[in-house]
């Protein structure tokens, strides 16, 4: 069902934006699904300028309608009104496509908000079939989109290849259940001048993770449980998002615990935990690194580690 067709006007810093509304609602509230009820209540709260309430209601609706991209636009617009620009931008990006950094949004109005408030710098470079940079767009085979988001310290890059039609299979920026095809050939982040690739065409991060890292899960889990007291943490929160940084030889050169409930609960121990994880993972055998135009790359790998 297409829930999102009718619109209600709102204003953000002089820009007319739109709140997407549920379509074809029955008049009796009890006839709606739980998710639809929350969206309807969220729209009403937004129109009454109760933006914190609307934010909570849209978030609740996503538990039931998590694949409805229009709700992310609703929540993003609400968060702009709350001046929560960083999270608003994440919602706009997710609503556009199922990978972070999508340049295409639903309409010109939201695109204008996104590029005015979410993007600090933007550039596009064109390349020929041998990946040599060229002036203009005549005869290009690849093009690279470089962006720096207002809320991030690093630059993201997307390398596109004309005519490519493939699935994104990375376990980092990409939703592994998404079936959307794309012409993206590689994705990366520039951190401290180093390009860390999060996706490269024909390199299956998920399979590499299963072969090289998953077999060590029980060992590191046992080590951490012997050192730290996790007994006060609810079982549903006993997991962490881990990001490993690799050099082109496939050796671990860094480790980061990404934001989630576990990191918040263990905030006083995060640095120590990251050091323990790094000390452990730097001893695992080298991983076959991805290649781009025959060059081995720096890359990152994200995964969930249960405790």
Length of the chain (residues): 307
243 — phi, psi (to 5°)?
-120, 125
Which helix or strand (DSSP H or E) is residue 36 part of? helix 34-47
Examine the pLDDT at 112 and tell me if it is beyond 90: no
Of 100, 47, 98, which is closest to residue 68 (Cα–Cα)? 98
Examine the pLDDT at 103 and tell me if it is beyond 50: no
For residues 233-255, give the mean pLDDT.
94
Examine the pLDDT at 192 and tell me if it is beyond 70: yes
Which helix or strand (DSSP H or E) is residue 122 part of? strand 119-127
275 — phi, psi (to 5°)?
-65, -40
Give yes or no for a contact between 301 and 208, defined as CB atoms under 8 angstroms apart.
yes
Output 233-239 pairs: Cβ under 8 A, ≥24 positions apart. Answer: 233/262, 233/265, 233/266, 233/307, 237/261, 237/262, 237/265, 238/262, 238/306, 238/307, 239/304, 239/305, 239/306, 239/307
3-state helix, strand, coil in the chain (%, to 5): 35, 30, 35
- Give the CATH fold of the 4-116 domain: 1.25.40
**pLDDT at residue number 205:** 87
For residues 212-238, give the mean pLDDT.
92
* Higher local confidence (pLDDT), 82 or 106: 82
Strand pairing partners for 11? 16
For residues 257-275, give the mean pLDDT.
89
User: In the predicted model, what is the mean pLDDT of the chain?
Assistant: 82
Provide the residue ranges of all domains of the chain, joining segments of one domain with +.
4-116, 118-202, 205-307
**pLDDT at residue number 167:** 55
Confidence category of residue 217, pLDDT binned at 50, 70, 90: very high
From residue 163, alpha-carbon distances to 100, 141, 182, 245 in Å are 21, 9, 9, 31
**pLDDT at residue number 69:** 76
From residue 217, alpha-carbon distances to 19, 60, 137, 155, 304 in Å are 44, 33, 48, 31, 10
Confidence category of residue 188, pLDDT binned at 50, 70, 90: very high
Among 25-34, 99-108, 222-231, 256-265, name the one with the lowest average pLDDT.
Answer: 99-108
User: What are the tens digits of pLDDT across the range 137-158?
Assistant: 888 999 999 989 888 888 999 9
**pLDDT at residue number 22:** 46
Q: Which residues contact 193 (CB under 8 A, 6 or more apart)?
A: none
For residues 186-200, give the mean pLDDT.
94
pTM above 0.75, yes or no: no
User: What are the tens digits of pLDDT across the range 10-68?
Assistant: 555 544 455 555 443 343 444 568 889 999 999 999 999 999 999 999 999 988 887 77
């Amino acid at each position: 069902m297409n829930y999102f067709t009718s619109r209600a006007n709102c204003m953000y810093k002089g820009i007319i934006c739109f709140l997407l509304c549920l379509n074809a609602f029955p008049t009796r509230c009890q006839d709606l699904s739980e998710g639809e009820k929350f969206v309807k209540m969220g729209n009403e709260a937004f129109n009454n300028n109760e933006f914190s309430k609307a934010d909570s209601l849209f978030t609740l609706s996503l538990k039931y309608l998590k694949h409805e991209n229009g709700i992310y636009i609703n929540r993003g617009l609400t968060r702009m009104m709350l001046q929560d620009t960083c999270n608003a931008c994440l919602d706009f990006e997710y609503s556009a496509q199922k990978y972070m950094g999508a340049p295409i949004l639903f309409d010109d109005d939201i695109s204008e908000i996104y590029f005015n408030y979410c993007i600090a710098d933007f550039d596009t470079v064109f390349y020929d079939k041998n990946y040599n940079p060229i002036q203009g767009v005549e005869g290009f085979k690849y093009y690279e989109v470089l962006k720096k988001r207002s809320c991030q310290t690093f630059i993201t890059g997307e390398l596109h290849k004309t005519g490519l039609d493939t699935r994104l299979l990375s376990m980092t920026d990409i939703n592994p259940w998404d079936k959307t095809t794309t012409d993206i050939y590689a994705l990366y982040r520039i951190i401290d001048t180093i390009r860390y690739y999060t996706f490269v065409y024909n390199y299956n991060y998920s399979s590499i993770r299963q072969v090289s890292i998953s077999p060590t899960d029980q060992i590191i889990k046992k080590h951490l449980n012997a050192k730290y007291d996790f007994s006060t943490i609810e079982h549903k929160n006993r997991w962490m998002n881990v990001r490993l940084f690799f050099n082109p030889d496939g050796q671990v050169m860094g480790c980061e615990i990404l934001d989630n409930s576990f990191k918040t609960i263990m905030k006083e121990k995060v640095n120590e935990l990251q050091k323990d994880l790094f000390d452990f993972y730097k001893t695992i055998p080298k991983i076959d690194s991805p290649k781009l135009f025959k060059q081995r790359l720096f890359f990152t790998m994200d995964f969930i580690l249960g405790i």
